[in-house]
Structure 1
Amino acid sequence: MDVTSLGFRTDLALLTDSGSVVEDRGTHLVVRSPDNPTYFWGNFLLLAQPPAPGGEKEVVGAFHTEFPQADHVSIGIDAPDLTDEARAAFEAAGMTVDLATVLTSSRVNLPRKVEAQVRALEGDDDWEGRARLSHQLYPHTPEDRFMAYARQKNAQERRLVEAGRGQRFGAFVDEQLVSTAGAFVTEDGLARYQSVETHPDHRRKGLAAAVVHAAGQHALDHLDVRRLVIVADTDGDAIGIYRRLGFNDLERRLMMEKRSGEWAAPDA
């Protein structure tokens, strides 16, 4: 299967380079992260095209066949659009449909100064702080289960850092990590951002822009990168930050997700 979406293509490159496995079934890919089975977008199906009308439940069933122990369903489609009927059918099957925007830039505008120390994550304490910051964004999930997932995700990303593929930067206030972003090379001249996260108590202070700038500038200055790729919720606040930093819309990325058990939001 040839993946056309730059968003998915860069996702797959980073996943495989950090230990995930991709199985090509012709009409779709099965992506597995054996070391981190609760990583939703490390364990998913990527369809080449939307299913034929009426095939939405079959696709969800195929996910359960591939991942029988999963407490989630994650399905991407390498196409930018769903018909209204297909969207309704997936939603009837319990899926949340998310249309994200993929943006690119060859430079990162200098953001405003922030009251924080912005630097690369350096050691175990910094990375543990990153895992704990991530948990602050999903406080309804039990800490022990979430931290097991977050530490495994850190381990995957640290392999990329150790291979010289990029770096994760953080903004520290009173020595506490409160915002972070990473950017990693996926192919010659191209780098993809990963997981821009900011503590809820420290938003709207310019910190996300500061760490996105730092990670991107590192890639441009030290890794021979000529183009940066970032993904944002189409209707979210972050996309405005990225556009002000100089990123331009390129394409849409279609993803669907269902969470259950301890991973489900309280009102789900």
Structure 2
Amino acid sequence: MDVESLAFRTDIALLEQTGSVAEDRGTHLVVRTPLEPSFYWGNFLLLPAPPAPGQVDHWVREARREFPGAEHVSIGMDRCEDGATLQPLREAGFRVDTVAAMTTGAVDAGPPLADGTEVRTLVTDADWDQEVDLNLASEPDDPHLTREFLQGRAAANRALVAAGLGHWWGAFVADQLVSSLGIFRAGEGLARYQNVKTHPGFRRRGLAGALVRAAARDALEGLGADTLVMAANPEDEAIRIYRAVGFTEGGLHAEATLLPARD
């Protein structure tokens, strides 16, 4: 299967650099991360397009067969120009998101930040511990984001940094990490942003935009990238930040997750 979505192509490239495997089944891809079996978007099926009506159960069974120990089912769709085609997945209980791949080759300078804000890369163990804490604070209601899972993700991202593939950037206020993101080489001339987030108590201060700009300069000047790739929900408020920085939207893809039952 040829992957058209620049977002999925760069996602898979980064996953493979941390030990994941993408297996081509012809009609679809199977992406697996053996060391992190509970990672929703490290263990998923990638289809060319949304399943046809009546085919959702088939793909759920296929996912269960490929990932027999997983509690979740995650299905990515490489193209999705019509949101109505996702309705069968919603009716089957999936949480469904439409995502835009955004790209740019340059960013604007941006406004200055308030005094007392430091923008830099994460370096120390304490910095990475704060990255885990920030994730927990940013998504307090997501049962998937346990401390153990986030520590595993931080270790994987730190390994990418150690390999010279990019950096994890943070905005600090009074030595507290309050916003962060990653930027990594993800193919010839490509660099991909990862996990942009800001602490709820520090939003609407321009922190995410400042990090996007700092990481862009890092990638364009230091990683040999000429195209920066971002993925964002078209309905999410954050997409306005990325547009203002200089990103433009390309094609749409979709992500569907059937979550484990909770008591």
* TM tier, smaller: over 0.9
Kindly provide the amino acid, as one letter, of the partner of residue 97 in structure 2: D
Shift of 1:142: 6.4
Q: Give the match for residue 213 of structure 1.
A: 213
Paired residues in the alignment total 261
> Per the alignment, do residues 87 and 152 of structure 1 end up closer, same or farther by CA in structure 2, a change over 3 Å counting?
same
Shift of 1:141: 5.2
Q: Report 1:141-156 matches (<5 A).
A: 146-156=146-156
Q: State whether residues 57 and 90 of structure 1, in contact with CA within 8 Å, keep that contact through their aligned partners in structure 2.
A: no
> Per the alignment, do residues 157 and 242 of structure 1 end up closer, same or farther by CA in structure 2, a change over 3 Å counting?
same
Q: Report 1:113-124 matches (<5 A).
A: 113-115=112-114, 116-124=117-125
Q: State whether residues 110 and 210 of structure 2, in contact with CA within 8 Å, keep that contact through their aligned partners in structure 1.
A: yes
Q: State whether residues 170 and 211 of structure 2, in contact with CA within 8 Å, keep that contact through their aligned partners in structure 1.
A: yes
Q: Give the match for residue 101 of structure 1.
A: 100
Q: Give the match for residue 10 of structure 1.
A: 10
Kindly provide the amino acid, as one letter, of the partner of residue 92 in structure 1: E
CA distance in 1: counterparts of 2:143 and 2:4, whole angstroms:
37
CA distance in 1: counterparts of 2:143 and 2:76, whole angstroms:
27
Shift of 1:103: 0.7
CA distance in 2: counterparts of 1:137 and 1:55, whole angstroms:
35
Shift of 1:87: 2.1
Q: Report 1:68-147 matches (<5 A).
A: 68-82=68-82, 84=84, 86-115=85-114, 116-140=117-141, 146-147=146-147
Identity across matched positions, percent: 44
CA distance in 2: counterparts of 1:7 and 1:141, whole angstroms:
23
Q: State whether residues 49 and 80 of structure 2, in contact with CA within 8 Å, keep that contact through their aligned partners in structure 1.
A: no
> Per the alignment, do residues 135 and 81 of structure 1 end up closer, same or farther by CA in structure 2, a change over 3 Å counting?
same
CA distance in 2: counterparts of 1:44 and 1:82, whole angstroms:
22
Q: Give the match for residue 32 of structure 1.
A: 32
Kindly provide the amino acid, as one letter, of the partner of residue 171 in structure 2: A
TM-score normalized with structure 1 length: 0.92
Q: Report 1:170-185 matches (<5 A).
A: 170-185=170-185
What does the per-residue CA deviation read over 1:241-267, in whole Å, with 9 as the maximum and x for residues that have no partner?
0000011111112111122346x9xxx
Q: State whether residues 169 and 211 of structure 1, in contact with CA within 8 Å, keep that contact through their aligned partners in structure 2.
A: yes
CA distance in 2: counterparts of 1:190 and 1:142, whole angstroms:
32
What does the per-residue CA deviation read over 1:9-67, in whole Å, with 9 as the maximum and x for residues that have no partner?
00100000111111111111111111112211111110123333310121122212222
Q: State whether residues 50 and 80 of structure 2, in contact with CA within 8 Å, keep that contact through their aligned partners in structure 1.
A: no
Structure 2 counterpart SS, 1:75: strand
Note the residue ranges of structure 1 that are not aligned, 5 or more in a row.
none
Q: Give the match for residue 247 of structure 1.
A: 247
Structure 2 counterpart SS, 1:150: helix
Bigger CA drift: 86-95 or 99-108? 86-95
What does the per-residue CA deviation read over 1:185-213, in whole Å, with 9 as the maximum and x for residues that have no partner?
11121101000011111110001101111
CA distance in 1: counterparts of 2:91 and 2:51, whole angstroms:
15
CA distance in 1: counterparts of 2:18 and 2:236, whole angstroms:
28
Q: State whether residues 50 and 82 of structure 1, in contact with CA within 8 Å, keep that contact through their aligned partners in structure 2.
A: no
CA distance in 1: counterparts of 2:99 and 2:71, whole angstroms:
23
Note the residue ranges of structure 2 that are not aligned, 5 or more in a row.
none
CA distance in 1: counterparts of 2:147 and 2:21, whole angstroms:
22
**Cα RMSD (Å) of the superposition?**
1.8
Shift of 1:131: 1.0
